[in-house]
Amino acid sequence: MTAVRRVVSLVPSLTEAVAQSAPGLLVGVTDWCTHPPDPAGVQRIGGTKNPDVRGIVALRPDLVIANEEENRAPDLAQLRAAGVEVLVTEVRDLPQALRELDRVLVGALGLKRPGWLADAEAAWARVEPAGTLTAFVPIWRRPWMVLGRDTFAGDLLARLGVRNAYAGHAERYPRVPVEELAAAGCDLVVLPDEPYRFSVSDGPEAFPGLPAALVSGRHLTWYGPSLVQAPAVLAEALEAAR
């Protein structure tokens, strides 16, 4: 297999993972890749949903890393048609995320397994939930959308003792009227700051009387080096809302 020397990442989580493990490999990242905030010598190639396919091809990458949920199949098909190698990850829970990180970093890029990956496994292995709460987790408003079945973020919350009220929904990200959410009888609402930037003044007011946990979207939804701190960061935010 040809050694990979030039990588384009279409996934913020994977950008952070590669940047921390072998920063010299990255030649292109999306506009949404914020960690690191401004990698030297790396070109921005558009969004996760609307990448500049021609621009990516012009970078002559040995590999493009993508995700089946974050990136659009037609864009990936165009890259493959142009002769670019594309690796697509799939993440539904923490164990799968750890396996996919191994597949990308060790299997595809030929790197030594990074220490932060072992640290992330250890950090989550030490988690002991402090009771069980039921919550719904909006990811968007206008219209309101929440976490449904088989989501990575839902799995992390479950490990921290928070049961997703919509985990059994037929859809992964269902649209749910705000009136239904308010009447769901949950213990709290979990409001991440991405993809929608919920804040103290934007989100909690829709659910008066219901405790709101404002959490870091990066620690809830990214699978990469942020997983090391995620158990402590999320647990602190959840505890503050109890």
pLDDT tens per residue, range 161-201: 999 999 999 999 999 999 999 999 999 999 999 999 999 99
Virtual torsion, Cα 226, 24, 29, 192, nearest 10 deg: 10
Query: Tell me, what's the pLDDT at 1?
Result: 53
> Other CB atoms closer than 10 Å to residue 166's CB: what's the count?
23
Sheet holding 133-136, edge to edge: 162-164, 133-136, 188-192, 212-215
Structure tokens at 25: 């490999």
Query: Tell me, what's the pLDDT at 34?
Result: 95
- As a whole-number percent, the residues of the chain with pLDDT over 70 amount to 100
Query: Tell me, what's the pLDDT at 131?
Result: 77
Q: Are 162 and 170 in contact (CB under 8 A)?
A: no
Q: Give the Cα separation of 57 and 136 in Å (integer).
A: 41
Over residues 216-231, mean pLDDT: 97
pTM of the model: 0.95
Return the closest-CA partner of residue 223 out of 27, 134, 42, 90.
90
Q: Which domains does the chain have, with CATH numbers?
A: 7-113 (3.40.50.1980), 129-241 (3.40.50.1980)
- As a whole-number percent, the residues of the chain with pLDDT over 90 amount to 94
Query: Tell me, what's the pLDDT at 39?
Result: 84
Q: Are 198 and 176 in contact (CB under 8 A)?
A: no
**Environment class of residue 74 by beta-carbon count within 10 Å: exposed (0-12), middle (13-18) or buried (19+)?**
exposed
pLDDT tens per residue, range 112-166: 999 999 999 999 999 998 779 999 999 999 999 999 999 999 999 999 999 999 9
Torsion sign (Cα): 125, 129, 132, 135? negative
Query: Tell me, what's the pLDDT at 207?
Result: 97
Over residues 211-227, mean pLDDT: 97
Q: Does residue 2 surpass a pLDDT of 80?
A: no
Query: Tell me, what's the pLDDT at 139?
Result: 98
Q: Does residue 33 surpass a pLDDT of 90?
A: yes
pLDDT tens per residue, range 64-76: 999 999 999 999 9
Q: Does residue 91 surpass a pLDDT of 90?
A: yes
Residue carrying structure tokens 């659009």:
72
Query: How would residue 99 be classed by pLDDT, with cut points 50, 70 and 90?
Result: very high
